A and B are shown apart, each in its own frame.
Chain A
Amino acid sequence: MTSTSKNAAGRVDARRARLSRWLDPDETTLAVLLLAPAAILLSVMIVYPVGRLIYTSFLDLSLTSGLPARFAGLANFQQMLDDPVFWQATWNTILITLITVPGALLVGLGLALLANLPFQMRWPVRLSLLIPWALPLAFAGLIFAWFFHSEYGVVNDVLNRIGLPGVIWFNSPRLAFAAICLAIIWKASSFMAMIILAGLQTIPRSLYEAADVDGAGRVRQFFEITLPLLKPTIVVALIFRTITALQTFDIPYMMTGGGPGTATATLAMYIHQNTVSFLDLGYGSALAVVMFGLSMCVTALYLRMIRGSESAS
């Protein structure tokens, strides 16, 4: 065989080997190929925007100044520390989370237990549970803004009918805050109820029957069986709800616009104000990074709780 024909045969073999490598890749290549679409999607949709946000938080970038973006180091974060509205909005956000998450959990748990009772025509009850959850947040905000309206609101009407004076709800920081919390609990409890109801339905009926035979009454059954077996479901519901509560925006925005003053402003509203109204992208991004950090901390805490309960069981 001549060296030319040898080379040609070698090239064909190499091509065949390359083709077979593509058609039958080794495990590592296959893993990379299979993971690549998800990794690319996550990078484009999550990693890049978050990375960009963190990068922007270190810039002095205000679209109203007309100046080009300038690296400002930790200046935006420094500004935050001296900004009373930031502290007020953060405190309001934490307070809303601390009040509405347990509130929605308790109301949702109650609703789920009711919906799980063995009565006929359960589906209308379950459907009605869905309605508050299905309503847009802004719409829920408008409904409650009307409920608590000082002149036309249902709440004042009821107060008047039972001989009590009406209240200008949104003039008082505390009352406005309470009204917002009520609206959030109403809106969020249906979501909690749906998740908890799904959890309740996974608890076998025979456990309650065994507890009946063992002599446990309803209250004891709730604390000894229902609640422990619902724990993983409740933790998942709490993660979702807490993260959403930390991002509270629509309901207070529609009900009070953050007022009176900044008494009901939340961190998300303040981010919106700085970024969209004041076009201060650098400071707005720094605020968003803080909110992102808060969410991450809470998620990590809950995940630790889940891992704890999993290893315990």
Chain B
Amino acid sequence: MASVGLRKLEKSYGAFRVVKAIDLEIIDGEFVVLVGPSGCGKSTTLRMIAGLESISGGEIRIGDRIVNDLPPRERDIAMVFQDYALYPHKTVRENMGFSLKVRGVNAGEADAKIRGAAEMLGITHLLDRRPGQLSGGQRQRVAMGRAIVRRPQVFLFDEPLSNLDAKLRGQVRTEIKRLHQTIGTTIVYVTHDQVEAMTLADRIVILRGGDIEQIGTPDEVYNNPANVFVGSFVGSPSMNFAKARAAHGYLDFADGNRLPLAALTGTGISAADGREFIVGIRPEHFTSGTSDIGLNCEVQVVEPLGSDTLVHFSVAGATLTARLPPELRPRPGEAFKLGLDPAKIHLFDAETERALH
């Protein structure tokens, strides 16, 4: 196991900067998830840590070694690829044992390690099959087996669940978490799926356009998003946003709804009259209307999910979503009051979109 450090790490293709001087310290044994939309630089960052992509600037440290110029094989890492990258002509056993064979591990020791990893992942019965004879989930497990058999210092996962169906994704996600709990090796995991990030990570790194937007535990990024982007990216359904202006001690929405500023800005946010805010409310933080503080709205669409009811409505020209208890089924067109806990309302500066805490 080892820590991983990125210092002013940069990647450019010509004039186009894909990763913009990012800093990140991953502690020994930590499970860190890099998450962000397509093109945010998360996979490029992972590939630079792996040594599959050269760096344009900065420094990568694994343990106490600077590995900037080391080839992948000398970094003591293992990687699980998005398409699994299993050797199609080799059996599962040969796939898992390839790195050991290359490193000259004797056959008996290699076999014991392969068996150990296979037992841990429940794939012992697949050892003599070829990847073409396996299902997607089994291939995924073999790819993980190939990674863990060598017990490297760091595991790198590049969107390993994106080729699986939703049900299998949930199962394998749990297995990855269990694997980390068992072997405790440092993991850097890339995904575009915020659910994966939230469920797996010790810490989440949210990237956008090659910059880090926020680093924090799942609770931190959920409860205290650094900006509108993080707020919108984390959580499902995503956070609702509507613009409002401070006036006479209230936040006024364009449609006449208003929220008392004193309840929202207890931490001392400057709220001079006329200042514009973006109000962020998570769908699950709406209540069904007994609170004094809330929004009057007209229901547009109702989506019963069984466990919850999603209610879509409009406030100040923005379409918002509320997650309400399943027994509540307002009808489209019905006037409805949604209550709010002021402590769970997020305020963002309308210009910078940064959170105001």
A contacts, CB < 8 Å to B:
204, 206-207, 209-217, 220, 224-225, 228-229, 313
Q: Are A228 and B89 in contact (CB under 8 A)?
A: yes
B contacts, CB < 8 Å to A:
50-52, 71-73, 77-79, 81-83, 85-89, 98-99, 102-103, 130, 132, 146
Known: A228-B89, A229-B89, A313-B89. A215 touches B83 (CB 8 A): no
**Measured between alpha carbons, how far is A213 from B73 in the docked complex, in Å?**
5
Q: Are A215 and B88 in contact (CB under 8 A)?
A: no
Known: A206-B85, A229-B89. A224 touches B98 (CB 8 A): yes
Tell me, rounded to whole Å, the shortest Cβ–Cβ distance linking A235 to chain B: 14
Q: Are A216 and B87 in contact (CB under 8 A)?
A: no
Q: Which residues of the partner chain A approach B98 to less than 8 Å between Cβ atoms? A: 211, 214, 216, 224
Q: Which residues of the partner chain A approach B102 to less than 8 Å between Cβ atoms? A: 214-216, 220
Tell me, rounded to whole Å, the shortest Cβ–Cβ distance linking B207 to chain A: 21
Q: Are A210 and B89 in contact (CB under 8 A)?
A: no
Contact among A204, A211, A213, A225 with B77 in the assembled complex (CB-CB below 8 Å): A213
Known: A207-B87, A228-B89. A212 touches B51 (CB 8 A): yes
**Measured between alpha carbons, how far is A206 from B79 in the docked complex, in Å?**
11
Q: Are A212 and B88 in contact (CB under 8 A)?
A: no
Q: Which residues of the partner chain B approach A206 to less than 8 Å between Cβ atoms? A: 81-83, 85
Q: Are A313 and B130 in contact (CB under 8 A)?
A: yes
Tell me, rounded to whole Å, the shortest Cβ–Cβ distance linking B102 to chain A: 4
**Measured between alpha carbons, how far is A215 from B102 in the docked complex, in Å?**
6
Q: Are B99 and A313 in contact (CB under 8 A)?
A: no
Q: Which residues of the partner chain B approach A215 to less than 8 Å between Cβ atoms? A: 73, 99, 102-103
**Measured between alpha carbons, how far is A214 from B50 in the docked complex, in Å?**
11
Tell me, rounded to whole Å, the shortest Cβ–Cβ distance linking A305 to chain B: 15
The 17 listed contacts between A and B (C-beta, < 8 Å) are A206-B83, A207-B85, A209-B52, A210-B81, A210-B146, A211-B87, A212-B72, A213-B72, A213-B77, A213-B99, A214-B99, A214-B146, A215-B99, A215-B102, A220-B102, A224-B87, A313-B88
Main secondary structure of the interface of A (DSSP, over half): helix
Tell me, rounded to whole Å, the shortest Cβ–Cβ distance linking A200 to chain B: 15
Tell me, rounded to whole Å, the shortest Cβ–Cβ distance linking B240 to chain A: 39
Tell me, rounded to whole Å, the shortest Cβ–Cβ distance linking A308 to chain B: 13
Most chain A CB within 10 A, of B50, B79, B103, B132, is at B79
Q: Are B73 and A204 in contact (CB under 8 A)?
A: no
Tell me, rounded to whole Å, the shortest Cβ–Cβ distance linking B231 to chain A: 34
Residue on A nearest B94 in the bound complex, by CB? A224
Tell me, rounded to whole Å, the shortest Cβ–Cβ distance linking A164 to chain B: 45
**Measured between alpha carbons, how far is A313 from B91 in the docked complex, in Å?**
9
Contact among A213, A217, A229 with B50 in the assembled complex (CB-CB below 8 Å): A213
Tell me, rounded to whole Å, the shortest Cβ–Cβ distance linking A298 to chain B: 25
**Measured between alpha carbons, how far is A234 from B88 in the docked complex, in Å?**
17
Q: Which residues of the partner chain A approach B81 to less than 8 Å between Cβ atoms? A: 206, 209-210
Q: Which residues of the partner chain A approach B86 to less than 8 Å between Cβ atoms? A: 210
Tell me, rounded to whole Å, the shortest Cβ–Cβ distance linking B110 to chain A: 13
Q: Which residues of the partner chain B approach A209 to less than 8 Å between Cβ atoms? A: 50, 52, 72, 79, 81, 85
Q: Which residues of the partner chain B approach A216 to less than 8 Å between Cβ atoms? A: 73, 98, 102
Residue on B nearest A209 in the bound complex, by CB? B52
Tell me, rounded to whole Å, the shortest Cβ–Cβ distance linking A54 to chain B: 41
Residue on B nearest A231 in the bound complex, by CB? B89
Known: A213-B79, A217-B73. 18 other contacts (CB 8 A): A204-B83, A206-B81, A207-B85, A210-B86, A210-B87, A210-B146, A212-B52, A212-B72, A213-B50, A213-B72, A214-B73, A214-B146, A215-B99, A224-B87, A224-B98, A228-B89, A229-B88, A313-B88
Tell me, rounded to whole Å, the shortest Cβ–Cβ distance linking B81 to chain A: 5
Most chain B CB within 10 A, of A209, A211, A213, is at A213
Residue on B nearest A203 in the bound complex, by CB? B88
Q: Which residues of the partner chain B approach A224 to less than 8 Å between Cβ atoms? A: 87, 98
**Measured between alpha carbons, how far is A209 from B79 in the docked complex, in Å?**
9
Q: Which residues of the partner chain B approach A210 to less than 8 Å between Cβ atoms? A: 79, 81, 85-87, 146
Known: A209-B52, A213-B72. A313 touches B132 (CB 8 A): yes
Q: Which residues of the partner chain B approach A220 to less than 8 Å between Cβ atoms? A: 102
Q: Which residues of the partner chain A approach B85 to less than 8 Å between Cβ atoms? A: 204, 206-207, 209-210
Tell me, rounded to whole Å, the shortest Cβ–Cβ distance linking A230 to chain B: 10
**Measured between alpha carbons, how far is A212 from B103 in the docked complex, in Å?**
12
Most chain A CB within 10 A, of B82, B89, B130, is at B89
Q: Which residues of the partner chain A approach B82 to less than 8 Å between Cβ atoms? A: 206
Tell me, rounded to whole Å, the shortest Cβ–Cβ distance linking B75 to chain A: 8
Please name the 4 residue pairs, one residue from A and one from B, whose CB atoms are nearest each other, closest first.
Answer: A215-B73, A206-B85, A214-B99, A210-B85
Tell me, rounded to whole Å, the shortest Cβ–Cβ distance linking B43 to chain A: 12
Residue on A nearest B71 in the bound complex, by CB? A212
**Measured between alpha carbons, how far is A210 from B86 in the docked complex, in Å?**
8
Contact among A212, A225, A228, A313 with B73 in the assembled complex (CB-CB below 8 Å): A212
Residue on B nearest A217 in the bound complex, by CB? B73
Most chain A CB within 10 A, of B72, B78, B130, is at B72
Q: Which residues of the partner chain A approach B130 to less than 8 Å between Cβ atoms? A: 313
Tell me, rounded to whole Å, the shortest Cβ–Cβ distance linking B311 to chain A: 44
**Measured between alpha carbons, how far is A115 from B221 in the docked complex, in Å?**
48
Q: Are A213 and B78 in contact (CB under 8 A)?
A: yes
